[in-house]
Amino acid sequence: MIVEFSRPSKFPFKSIYNFYFKAILPKIGRLVSKDQSAYTYLPESVQVFPDGTDFLKVLERVGFKNTTCTPLTFGVSSIYVGVK
């Protein structure tokens, strides 16, 4: 079982999520941590990480069976399950 960030795909939540993740979250990270690069890596890593059926294909390619993906919170995160 894996819980991972993912990218919402439905309007309007997709637009709100992208704005928050790219414009607001890095500013909060800088304010809290006093580090200029704080939380800028997170939107970048979520953007390139495979999600949904793409991640299920990765799991199946490495030997997992009975894979499922359950989106949470309008698709902000997902629970992936597979049996090895």
Q: Could you tell me which of 50, 9, 45 has the C-alpha nearest to residue 25?
A: 45
Domain that holds residue 38: 2-83
pLDDT score of 28: 85
> Tens digit of pLDDT per residue, the chain (84 long)?
999 989 898 889 899 988 998 888 888 888 888 777 767 778 888 889 999 999 999 999 999 999 999 999 999 999 999 999
Task: Return the residue matching tokens 């490495």.
Answer: 62
- The total number of structural domains in the chain stands at 1
Could you give the angle at the alpha carbon of 10 between the alpha carbons of 7 and 15, nearest 5°? 70
**Cβ distance 75 to 13 under 8 Å?**
yes
The predicted pLDDT at position 1 comes to 96
Q: Where are the beta strands (DSSP E) in 6-76?
A: 65-72
